[in-house]
Amino acid sequence: MSGRVEGSMAGGGSAVSRVVIYGLLLVFAAIFLTPLFVMLITSLKSLDEIRDGNMLSLPQSPTIAPWLSAWGTACIGLTCNGIKGYFGNSIMMVVPAVAISTILGSLNGFVLTKFRFPGHKLIFALMLFACFIPFQAVLIPVARVLGMVGLGNSIGGLILVHVVYGLGFTTLFFRNYYEAFPTELIRAAMIDGAGFFQIFRRILLPASGPIIIVTVIFQFTNIWNDFLFGSSFASGDGVPMTVALNNLVNTSTGVKEYNVDMAAAMIAALPTLLVYVVAGRYFVRGLMAGAVKG
Amino acid sequence: MAFLEIKGLVKRFGKLEVLKGIDLDLERGGFLVLVGPSGCGKSTLLSAIAGLDTISGGEILIDGEVVNDLRPSKRDIAMVFQSYALYPNMTVAQNIAFGMEMRGVPKPERDVAVERVAATLQMSHLLSRRPSQLSGGQRQRVAMGRALVRDPRVFLFDEPLSNLDAKLRVDMRTEIKKLHQSTGKTIVYVTHDQIEAMTLATKIAVLKDGALQQVGTPAEVYNRPANLFVADFMGSPSMNLLTAKAVSRNGVAGLELPRAHDAAIFLRLPPNIRAGAVQDGAELIVGIRPEAITDPDGADRNSPLVEIVEALVDVVEPAGSDTYVVTEASGKEVIARMRSDADVRPGQRIPFAFDLNKAVLFDPRTTQRIG
Ligand SMILES: Nc1ncnc2c1ncn2[C@@H]1O[C@H](COP(=O)(O)OP(=O)(O)O)[C@@H](O)[C@H]1O
Ligand SMILES: [Mg+2]
């Protein structure tokens, strides 16, 4: 992104405005990065050092003990097995929820653009509407429904909720992307004798790379970071990472272990960070493609 | 019985009637060209034949069988699209083989068929490339290959040459014509280019606003257009269409065309018009193609009726093989086609030879041809 800014300024900007712009950018970057920096160095200090030292000073004798503790032995509520089990819960929730909502979203997008039926506009408008329903408004009805279908207090229930809630967004993404996909290709495949799913798998999906990445990142971050659904529809050992982190920090047995809390928070943030680092470039590119064509 | 029959075909999109009752048929091995201005419903008609769109009324028969409710893949047709519609993620070979793959043809058989078609179209060296690595002409070839490889009952072409540059378009046109002659396949071909229609067709159907204007051989459509629209649409430069008045001079029935700076032109009635067909004093439109107005030496010696008229040359447009000479009558430009070496300059008065054997008359109210 910085390259983009530089490129667009190169023409008109004088040296002074260049300095001002870069100065501002550096200041803002520092503001955003400081908390992360503090978290990281705190998680590498011993408790004594935290108590004695300056919050911003580098660790004198770096240690990974807080990380190991956060992962495997820290106490959350009454059990002292660290956050690893909850990390696993989150993975088991996120992976199926992202996969299912992405696949369904692309199928919806396919039907809404290339296999139109009477009333497709209304259906799409309703799905879009789902994007704007606030979480809080649906908590109690959702809890009732989950209870009725026997998915209350389970990972399966969370998966269902995230899939349903994400469907509006994933459908919107894929619909806008497929709107620009040449219809003649679909028609050619129909004449070639390909059926609905063959066209989807052989013609459309291979061209969907950028929008799949956008959708996966979007869904992954949203579902991984969700706290409200996790705390409402799961409990005990079944809660996702975000809720466990909250419980860890709030567990009051003896001294407050800031270094362990920070390490746990870092671990909780790692997967989304990783996804951004690996696929962030495609995220911007995919969004642009959708914006320009759709 | 015709191989492809279309009876009373109607297609509506909501309230908009795009095809207004089309009746057409084509014999086995025929080459039907649907021609008309853009937006007149050509692609819609082709999609209906292909089964890509449902139809609102009428019947489509292939080889005596009603195919209205058959899916595209069951109609045994192949189609070449205007955009070529090559699958971007597949190689040329995979593109060509895709239809066979979907029909469950075993791989070795597919490979043989792909090789054979690639050899016919001289593109064996392209088989492992992807569409993005091909030029426009090569993509066009691959699109043709994909249609040819399956050996279907009917080929459908939707403006297959309109994305090519002029030179390549002429080459591919010849190639398609050769292909038709060597394979004897039944073809329906859509174009908005009347020259393509004239050169390729065994049968032309002229379409306007979803209604057929005329169906006939290229010669019929060109020489005896059914109405003013067809007369104007077919031919380049287009037919001279001039307002005239039916008059009798010294007992000879003829047409009078007023001129701005000259005495009115008097032309005897075309020989193919019956004496009683036009009333004295009636307003008419006479249609006469540029090549039927020449210098006197260039006139058709076998024509039963050539009228020589002196007229003022307004513009001279050399076009290589011919020279177009423009004069005026009935308030419009009249284009004549003369030999390229004709020594003509603007402002001269020269004799123009009107070959009335090739002239047609239209009723200005109904726009239909008379006689
Ligand atoms: N899916 C559609 N919905 C509504 N109108 C359409 C649709 N497809 C084509 N039309 C209309 O039908 C008319 C004929 O279109 P088309 O057959 O593509 O014309 P052509 O191929 O002769 O240029 C046009 O006016 C076009 O706007
Ligand atoms: Mg068209």
pLDDT digits (tens, 9 = 90+) for B264-300: 999 999 998 887 788 889 999 999 999 999 999 888 8
**Residue-level pLDDT at A4:** 45
| Interface check A185 vs B, CB under 8 A | yes
Structure confidence at residue B60 as a pLDDT band (50, 70, 90): very high
Average pLDDT over residues B194-220: 95
Q: Flag whether residue A207 sits within 8 Å of chain B, measured between CB atoms.
A: yes
What six digits make up the tokens of B115? 């090789």
Instruction: Give chain A's residues under pLDDT 70.
Output: 1-13, 252-253, 286-294
Give span(s): CATH 3.40.50.300, chain B. Answer: 4-227
The answer to whether residue B31 scores a pLDDT higher than 90 is yes
Average pLDDT, chain A: 87
Q: Are A220 and A98 in contact (CB under 8 A)?
A: yes
Q: Which residue of A has its CA nearest to B70?
A: A191
How many contiguous H segments (helices) and E segments (strands) does chain A have?
Answer: 14, 0
Instruction: Show the tokens assigned to A146.
Output: 């989950």
Q: Supply the pLDDT for residue A7.
A: 46
Q: Quote the pLDDT of residue A13.
A: 62
Question: What is the CATH topology of the domain spanning B4-227?
Answer: Rossmann fold (3.40.50)
Residue B144 has pLDDT above 70, yes or no: yes
Q: Which of B44, B79, B193 to mutate to test the pocket of ligand 1 (most atoms within 8 A of CB)?
A: B44
Interface predicted TM-score of the whole assembly (ipTM), two decimals: 0.84
Looking at the partner chain, which of A191, A206, A207 has a beta carbon nearest the beta carbon of B72? A191
Helices B42-50, A183-191: crossing angle, 10 deg rounding = 40
Residue among B160, B158, B166, B219 nearest B190 (CA): B158
Q: In the block, which residue shows the tokens 């020489």?
A: B223
Of all protein residues, the one whose alpha carbon is nearest to atom 26 of ligand 1 is B39
Contacts of A180 in chain B (CB under 8 A): none
Chain B residues close to A184, C-beta within 8 Å: 81-83, 85
Entry field: residues in chain B: 371
At A79 the three-state DSSP class reads strand
Q: Which residues is B326 bridged to in the sheet?
A: B315, B335
Q: Is the pLDDT of residue B138 over 80?
A: yes
* Alpha-carbon distances of B70 from A24, B21, B27, B64, B65, rounded to whole Å: 66, 20, 21, 14, 10
The boundaries of every CATH 1.10.3720.10 domain in chain A are: 73-293
Residue type, A121: K
DSSP SS3 for A237: helix
Burial of A214 from C-beta contacts in 10 A (0-12 / 13-18 / 19+): buried
**CB of residue B210 inside a 6 A radius of ligand 1:** no
- CA separation, residue B192 to residues A237, B39, B49, B158, B207 (Å): 70, 10, 18, 10, 10
- Contacts with A151 (C-beta within 8 Å, 6 or more apart), sequence order: A157, A160
The pLDDT assigned to A289 comes to 55
The pTM assigned to this predicted structure is 0.82
Spatial distance between the Cα atoms of B275 and B251, rounded to a whole number of angstroms: 12
Q: Give the separation between CA B243 and CA B285, rounded to whole angstroms.
A: 4
CB spacing of B79 vs A188 below 8 angstroms: yes
Q: Is B160 in the pocket of ligand 1 (CB under 6 A)?
A: no
User: Under a CB-based contact definition with an 8 Å cutoff, are residues B50 and B42 in contact?
Assistant: no
Contact B87 A203 (CB under 8 A): yes
SS (H, E, C) chain B: CCCEEEEEEEEEECCEEEEEEEEEEECCCCEEEEECCCCCCHHHHHHHHHCCCCCCEEEEEECCEECCCCCHHHCCEEEECCCCCCCCCCCHHHHHHHHHHHCCCCHHHHHHHHHHHHHHCCCHHHCCCCHHHCCHHHHHHHHHHHHHCCCCCEEEEECCCCCCCHHHHHHHHHHHHHHHHHHCCEEEEEECCHHHHHHHCCEEEEEECCEEEEEECHHHHHHCCCEHHHHHHCCCCCCEEEEEEEEEECCEEEEEECCCCCCCEEEECCCCCCHHHCCCCCEEEEEECHHHEECHHHCCCCCCCEEEEEEECCEEEECCCEEEEEEEECCEEEEEEEECCCCCCCCCEEEEEEEHHHCEEECCCCCEEEC
Nearest Cα neighbor of B294 from B346, B231, B340 is B340
Choose among A277, A178, A168, A176: nearest CA to A219.
A168
pLDDT score recorded for residue A286: 63
Give Cα A18 distance to the centre of its chain: 34
Establish how many alpha carbons lie within 13 A of residue B356's alpha carbon, considering only the half-sphere containing its beta carbon: 18
Element (H, E) at A265: helix A258-293
Strand order in the sheet with B332-339: B315-318, B322-329, B332-339
Which tokens belong to A208? 């969907």
Q: Is A118 on the interface with B (CB under 8 A)?
A: no
Task: Report d(CA A127, CA A7) in Å as an integer.
Answer: 39
Q: Does B46 touch chain A (CB under 8 A)?
A: no
Buried b (16+ CB within 10 A) or exposed e, B295-309: beebbeeeeebbbeb
Best residue of B44, B94, B98 to probe chain A, by most A CBs closer than 10 Å: B98
**What pLDDT does residue A146 have?**
93
Q: How far is the CA of A192 from the centre of ligand 2 (A)?
A: 20
CA of A181 to the centre of ligand 2 (A): 18
**Nearest residue in B to A192, CA atom:** B99
Taking the CA of A187 as reference, the closest ligand is 1
- pLDDT above 90 (res B167): no
| Amino acid A130: pLDDT | 84
Ligand 1 atom 24, closest CA:
B39
Residue given tokens 């969907």 in the structure block: A208
What residues of chain B lie within 8 A of the CB of A206, using their CB? 88-89
pLDDT value at residue A6: 46
Q: Is B103 on the interface with A (CB under 8 A)?
A: yes
Min Cα–Cα distance to chain B from A119, Å: 13
Q: What pLDDT is attached to residue A293? A: 37
Asked whether B54 lines ligand 1 (CB < 6 A), one says no
| R_g of chain A computed on alpha carbons | 24
Q: Is A205 at the interface with chain B, CB within 8 A?
A: no
User: For residue range B238-253, what is the model confidence (pLDDT) as tens digits?
Assistant: 999 999 999 998 888 8
Q: Specify the pLDDT at position A93.
A: 95
Q: How many residues does this entry show for chain A?
A: 294
Which of B44, B67, B82, B102 should be substituted to probe chain A, the one whose Cβ sees the most A Cβ atoms within 10 Å? B102
The string of pLDDT tens digits covering residues B64-119 is 999 999 999 999 999 999 899 999 999 999 999 999 999 999 999 999 999 999 99
**Interface touch B47/A187, C-beta < 8 Å:** yes
Query: Where, residue-wise, is CATH 2.40.50.140 in chain B?
Result: 240-370
Kindly state the average pLDDT of the residues B337-353. 92
Which atom of ligand 1 sits closest to the CA of residue B207? 22
- Euclidean distance between CA atoms B54 and B110, whole angstroms: 31
Q: Which CATH superfamily does the domain covering A73-293 fall into?
A: MetI-like (1.10.3720.10)
Of all protein residues, whose CA lies closest to atom 7 belonging to ligand 1? B13
Cβ <8 Å between A192 and B99: yes
For residue B110, count CB atoms less than 10 angstroms from its CB and return exposed for 0-12, middle for 13-18, buried for 19 or more. Answer: buried
Q: Does residue B191's CB lie within 6 angstroms of at least one atom of ligand 1?
A: no
Q: What gap in Å lies between CA A289 and CA A283, rounded to an integer?
A: 10
Question: Is there a contact between B230 and B221 (Cβ–Cβ < 8 Å)?
Answer: yes
- pLDDT confidence of residue A210: 87
A193 with B102: Cβ contact below 8 A: yes
Sheet of B360-362, strand order: B265-268, B252-257, B240-249, B283-288, B360-362, B369-370
The better pLDDT of the pair B212, A276 is held by: B212
Ligand nearest to the CA of B54: 1
The CATH number of the domain covering residues in B240-370 = 2.40.50.140
Residue appearing with tokens 């290339």: A114
What pLDDT sits at residue A292? 42
